Structures are given as structure tokens and as C-alpha cells.
Amino acid sequence: MIIFNQVTKRYPGGYEALSQINFRMEQNEMVFLTGHSGAGKSTLLKLLAMLESPSSGEIIVNEQPLNMLKKYQVAHYRSQLGITFQSPHLLNHRTVFDNVALPLVIKGEQDSFIAKRVHAALDMVGLLNKQKMLPVHLSCGEQQRVGIARAVVHKPSLLLADEPTGNLDPELSAEVMSVFTQLNQVGVAIMIATHDLPLIASMKHRMIMLKGGRIC
Amino acid sequence: MQKWLFLQKQAFKTCFINLKAQPILTMITSMMIGFILIWPTFLWVLSIQAKDIIKDWQSHAYFTFYVPNSVKSAQREDVITRLKATDHVQKVKLITPEQSLKKLLTPEEAQSLLQNTTKNPLPYIVEVYPDAQMLQEDQLMDLYNNIANLPFLESSKNDLGWFQRLSAFEKFLNHFSLLLFGILMLGVTFLVSNTLRMVIHSRYDEIQILKLIGASQRFILSPFLYAGAFYGLLGAMVAILSVNIIICLLQDYFKPLAVLYNYVGMIPLMSVMQVFSVMGIAICLGWAAAWVFVRYYLNAIEPV
């Protein structure tokens, strides 16, 4: 369960990206976060990923207040998340397989287990035949899908996706959303920030609309 | 344990992928570490050799005492007996005035001298040889003082002044190499640190991504620790090879110098123990430098 309690994020210079945000999200929920550019969608996801810290207020994830986490606990917290951004953040000198395997390698899983899970994740995003390629040899859409495969390969308890379908055609977008739905059905909480209103409409999940850093 | 081993295997693999990705940097760093290590290593080998030479000379050391001709034969015999019974005395040799004369002069010169004097003016000489365990300068000094206190022994001479100078030089060489070793090791540490800083800078994005997906500090740090140790190992190998080449090149010049000082021997190549010591120290230094500095650099990187 995720709780945002009076969360405000103010950047140096006084710009307030988020103001007094309050909401709850259940463990098996899938929530769309929408709003115009600069509305605060990415900031909200960054707060959840602990890439930023709130200026005031409290964020609680699975009964753990994030501001109470020690620095060495942050890595463990992030390892339980699945994070995918519009820019896929891939390691360009490592193969697709190695990139997707990273969250499992970090956890110290066995090679055979890693291979099984990576193949399943790549199959899910339709890139199993490209596992030995380097990311630089893939299209933007394919790189995006590698990022998604990496975000879901370790079956995270919370998946944060920032414009996950931004570089994908409608057909692939639908496939990716279907993957997210499957994950959600097995209990993974998913928060997706997107501009794509038709996509949101087609999914029939809760939507949080942000405007000027506030929920409206 | 299995998980730890798996993570170490991963770190090792990542380390070598990164080293292979930057072969020029790896080579230059290792060469520089090697050149820094040459001097303390060479001085260390030299100081060990100097110790051996001093031991060799000290094992040939003896004291010379004079027994005046006025001392009666029985008293002289008594002194010799007491000397032989003294602790740490291996051998006592009595040289008669006649033997001394023969040693000093040719038979013709001796004949001529004896024609002009009524009797041989040379005294009895007693040469005292300390046993093989008496290699320390202070031990020899104590023994010398004990013997010098015996009656009827006079005007003695010893080689202790020479040993004192030699020992002082050996101590200086030891301390100098230790000091140089310390300073240059600090240099190695900073060199490894600076190289790893450059590597971290070139892998900045990768580290950010690793942190983003939840890699622990230890997971990110481990490949750098192995890289630091590997730089140290390669550097040590360069140093060991260079020092042995220098020793080989110096042998021809060392030999005539050694002969002048009654030393028969060569500068030996580095022993297996010395080779492993230099490697071990360099590996530890590389590892330690990575441990101290990389953690500091990594702390400054946060995912965005």
C-alpha cells in the first residue's frame, strides 16, 4: 500500500513541483497518473523511487515511511521496485540479455534461474530473438521494451512507469499494457505516468490527474 | 555463502570487462605503478644484500692483542687458556715474534734487522676469533671489552670501527628504503585512486543506472576493488621484472667492486619470497586505495 500524506516538493529557487499531495494506493492497484508537461507526474514517481526526497509531508510504502530509510537501505528498497522511464537507461556495452538480467544479478540469483526469467521477460516484450544484441543496435521502441523487460523481470512489488509507451506504436503499446495488466493481476502495484488519454480510457483503471503540482 | 560467491564472480567478470574496455588506461596505470615500485623494491633487495655482505665480513672478524715480551711464558700460557675458555671465542691463535717477523719481512730483511739488534723487538700476538653467532656489532663490542680486561694483554686493535661504519650505513639504507617505500606507496595509492576516478567518470551513467535499479554500494564497489588489486598486481610484475633486469645489468660492475672489499658473490635475483611479498603488498595497496577512494567517489553519484 502506498500513502502520500501532505507531500510537497519544492526545488531550490522556490519552484513547487508538487503541493500538498494526498492519496492512497492499494497493493494490487493499477493507477494512471496524468496531466500536462510540468504537472508533476515525473516528480511524483521520482519521490516514490527515492530519487528525490519530499520537502515536506510523508510517503509510506508497505507501511515503511520512506524518510526513515537509512542510506544503505535505499538500494534494497529500490531493488524491490520496477522502474522504467521514457528514456530506457540501458547499459550500452552490455547485451540485451545482460541488461534485463541486472536486477536478478544484483540480488545474487543463480544463472539458471536468471536465464529462465530473462527469457520469459524478453519473450513477453517480443525481443527474445535479440537477446545477444547490444542496445545501440536496437530501435528506440525496442530499447524501451528492453527497459520494460528489465523492470518486470524480478517481479517487483511496485512498478513505476514513466511514459512507458512513449516510443511504441499502438500495437506494441497495447502489448506492453497487457503485460502490465498481467503483472497487476498477480498482485503487483503499478503506477503509470502517461499523456496517452485514449490508452487510459481503454484500460479502465483509476486515474490521478495532476495540474500545477496538485491533484485535481 | 553461495550468493556471496556468485556476487564475487559477477564483480570479477565486470572488472575484467571494464579493464578490457580501457586497455590503454590499464596499461599506463600498471606501468606507472611498476615504475614507482621499482625504487623501493630495488633498495629493499640491495639492503638485504648489504646485510649479507656485512654478515660475511663479520664472520671473518677477529681481534688482535699484544703480549709484551716481559710477560713470562707461564703467564702467557695462562692468558691463552683463559681466552680459550671465554664464552663465544671460537679460536685463539698465538703468533710468536719470530713468526711475525717472517710475516713482515723477507728473510734477507729479517737477517739484516737481527744483525743490528740484540733480540727480536716484536711482541707476541694473540688473535682471537669470535664464534659464528657473534654477528651483531654490540655483541662483538662486549666480547672485545671482556677480553681487553684480561691481564697481560695490551695495545689491542680491532675492526669494530669499520663494522660500526658499515652497520650504520646498513641501518641508514634500511631506514631510507622504508621511508622511500612509505612515500612511494602513498604515490601508488593516489595513482590507483586517480585512475579509478577516471574509470568511474567514464562509467558515470552506468553507475547511475545500477543505483537506480537497486544495486548496493558493495555490488558497485566490488569490481573497482578487483580492478585496484589488478592494477597493483600488474604494477608489481613490471617492477619485479625491471628490478631483475637492473640486477643482471649491474652484475658486471658489482663483481670488481665486491672483490675490492674481499666479498665473493653477486647480487642475487629476487627470491620467490621477495617476489610474492612485492606482489602481495602491491595488490593490498591497490585494493585499499580502491576501498578508500572509490567509496568516496561513488557516494557522490546519485541516479536522476
Q: Is the pLDDT of residue A6 over 70?
A: yes
Chain A residues inside the 8 Å CB shell of B213: 78-79, 83, 102-103, 106, 150
State whether residue A24 sits within 8 Å of chain B by CB: no
Most B CBs within 10 Å, among A48, A71, A89, A158, to test the B interface:
A89
For A75, the closest of B21, B215, B304 (CB atoms) is: B215
Q: In this predicted model, which residue has the larger pLDDT, B121 or B178?
A: B178
High-pLDDT (> 70) share of chain B, %? 88
Please check the confidence at residue A48 and state whether its pLDDT lies above 90: yes
Cβ B217–A105 below 8 Å, yes or no?
no
Query: Which residues of A are less than 8 Å from B217 in CB distance?
Result: 72, 75
Fold of B62-158: Alpha-Beta Plaits (3.30.70)
Interchain contact A105–B (C-beta under 8 A): yes
Q: Report the C-alpha gap between B200 and B220 in whole angstroms.
A: 10
Single-letter amino acid, residue B199: V
Q: B303 at the A interface (CB within 8 A)?
A: yes
Place of cell 683463559: B82
Q: Are A44 and A21 in contact (CB under 8 A)?
A: yes
pLDDT at B60: 67
Phi-psi region of A192 (alpha: psi -120 to 50; beta: other; left: phi over 0): beta
- Mutate: best of B6, B213, B299, partner A, most A CBs <10 A: B213
Q: Which pLDDT does position A117 carry in this prediction? A: 95
Order of strands, sheet of A56-61, starting from the edge strand that comes earlier in the sequence? A16-25, A2-10, A56-61, A64-65
- Measured between beta carbons, the chain B residues lying within 8 angstroms of A90 are 209
Partner-chain contact A89 B212, CB within 8 Å: yes
pLDDT, tens digit (0-9, with 9 covering 90-100), for A111-139: 899 999 999 999 988 899 999 999 999 98
Q: What is the pLDDT of residues A173-204, one digit of tens each?
A: 887 888 888 888 888 899 999 888 888 888 88
Q: Max Cα separation, chain A?
A: 51
Q: How far apart, in whole angstroms, are the C-alpha atoms of residue A216 and residue A153? A: 34
pLDDT score recorded for residue B123: 84
Instruction: Identify the DSSP state of B138.
Output: H
Q: What is the pLDDT of residue B166?
A: 73
Burial B121-157 (b: 16+ CB within 10 A, else e): ebbbbbebbbeeebbebeebeebbeebeeeebbeeee
Give the single-character DSSP code of A110. -
pLDDT tens, residue by residue, B124-140: 888 888 886 666 777 77
Q: Tell me the average pLDDT of chain A.
A: 89
A173 within 8 A of A95, measured Cβ to Cβ: no
User: pLDDT for B145-181, tens place per residue?
Assistant: 888 888 888 766 666 676 677 777 778 877 887 888 8
Predicted TM-score (pTM) of this structure: 0.71
Domain spans of chain B, in order of start: 7-57+164-299, 62-158
The whole-angstrom separation of Cα A5 and Cα A65 is: 10
Check CB contact under 8 Å for A102 and B213: yes
Contacts of A13 (CB under 8 A, 6+ apart): none
ipTM of the complex: 0.87
Q: Give the pLDDT confidence of B80-119 residue by residue, as tens digits.
A: 888 888 888 888 888 888 887 777 777 676 667 666 666 7
Question: In whole angstroms, what is the distance from residue B246 CA to residue B194 CA?
Answer: 29
Q: How far apart are CA B197 and CA B298, in angstroms?
A: 9
Nearest to A83 among B208, B213, B302 (CB): B213
Mean pLDDT of chain B: 83
- In 3D space, the residue among A58, A69, A50 whose CA is nearest the CA of residue A160 turns out to be A50
| Residue A193 backbone dihedrals phi, psi, to 5 degrees | -95, 125
How confident is the model at residue A24, as a pLDDT? Answer: 92
What digits encode the pLDDT tens for the residues B209-246? 999 999 988 899 999 999 999 999 999 999 999 999 99
Residue A192's Cβ-count burial label (10 Å; 0-12, 13-18, 19+) is: buried
Walk me through the domains of chain A, giving residue ranges and CATH numbers: 1-80+157-216 (3.40.50.300), 87-155 (no CATH)
Q: Give the model's pLDDT for residue B253.
A: 85
Q: Does A93 touch chain B (CB under 8 A)?
A: yes
- The Cα–Cα gap between A197 and A199 comes to 5
